[in-house]
Amino acid sequence: MQPWITQSPAYLERWIDEQEIDRSAVARVIEGLDIAVRDEVGRHTTGGQQPNLYIPGLSAAPWWENDRFPWTANLEAATPDIVAEFEALGGLRGRRTLSSNPTELADEGRWSAHYLYYTAKAYPRNIKACPKTVAALASIPGALGCGMTYFSVLDPHTHIAAHTGFTNAHLRCHLGLVTPEGPSIRVGDESRQWERGRTFVFDDSFEHEVWNDTGSGRAVLLFDLWHPDLSEVEVRAITYLMEVSRKLIYRSFWSKEFVSA
């Protein structure tokens, strides 16, 4: 369990009072925090789903069909503009804006990212450089800042170890940009390959793993979106909890730095 989770229920209770929220409207979020604090997520999930923050009552499936998301057609149509902005940032080999091994999960090779958002924190320089990408994402609930949004670059002969995402309140979408034949992603028990200009949506709170055993790089536009079962007030509550988590994590980091100095 991440330490900030134990402090979050008190923050959420204050927020509910300050915002004059009907507690029943955010009952699932309250219950989800309680499950996390008791470290009982595993008792509520099946099939390899293991987020840190689990919101009960949300539809759960490793892969989601695109017909649930009418925005996929417009996003796919914007692929040429998105690829052009990706290349302008440096593409597969750019060094100025690439961050290596974003979550230290690449146990072979190199995984890198051109960030637009990282845990909802904006990267203004990259955002400014990608106006057409931002415009294509603007109508997608949460794509601009509910979690992660970045160009994901997988070097040749790279493996990203099996892992699970932070919360089931998000789903994740990939849009294929540079897609040699061969690289693949497994979510749950099913593996798929990317295609240029095609999207797929999955729930990254299920175990997933990525391979690129080829001699060519692979790139996708990766972004999180809000789970479609969430209400507007639940989204507000979870957004607030994300802000709390950043504050508490940074506070913990700096307290350790000062103590050790």
CB of 147 closer than 8 Å to CB of 119: yes
Q: Tens digits of per-residue pLDDT, 72-110?
A: 999 999 999 999 999 999 999 865 556 665 556 777 788
Share of the chain above pLDDT 70, in %: 90
Q: Which residues constitute the domain of residue 127?
A: 63-226
Number of structural domains the chain divides into: 2
Q: Quote the pLDDT of residue 257.
A: 33
Q: What is the mean pLDDT of residues 159-180?
A: 96
- Residues 14 and 137 placed together within one structural domain of the fold: no
- Residues 249 and 189 placed together within one structural domain of the fold: no
Please provide the average confidence, as pLDDT, over all residues in the chain.
90
pLDDT-derived band at 161 (thresholds 50, 70, 90) equals: very high
Q: Quote the pLDDT of residue 256.
A: 40
Q: Quote the pLDDT of residue 251.
A: 52
- Residues 9 and 95 placed together within one structural domain of the fold: no
Distances in Å between the alpha carbon of 30 and those of 24, 107, 223? 9, 36, 26
Would 91 be classed as within a structural domain? yes
d(CA 227, CA 141): 9
pLDDT-derived band at 246 (thresholds 50, 70, 90) equals: confident
Q: What is the mean pLDDT of residues 129-140?
A: 98
Would 237 be classed as within a structural domain? no
Q: Quote the pLDDT of residue 92.
A: 92
Q: Tens digits of per-residue pLDDT, 145-158?
A: 999 999 999 999 99
Q: Tens digits of per-residue pLDDT, 13-72?
A: 999 999 999 999 999 999 999 999 999 999 999 889 999 999 999 999 999 999 999 999
- Residues 74 and 174 placed together within one structural domain of the fold: yes
DSSP E strands in 35-157: the ranges are 63-64, 98-100, 106-108, 111-118, 121-122, 149-154
- Residues 167 and 253 placed together within one structural domain of the fold: no
Q: Quote the pLDDT of residue 102.
A: 55
- Residues 51 and 68 placed together within one structural domain of the fold: no
Q: Quote the pLDDT of residue 196.
A: 98
CB of 175 closer than 8 Å to CB of 198: yes
- Residues 138 and 25 placed together within one structural domain of the fold: no
More confident residue, 4 or 130: 130
Would 232 be classed as within a structural domain? no
- Residues 175 and 211 placed together within one structural domain of the fold: yes
User: Residue 160: which H helix or E strand, with range?
Assistant: strand 158-163
CB of 183 closer than 8 Å to CB of 152: no
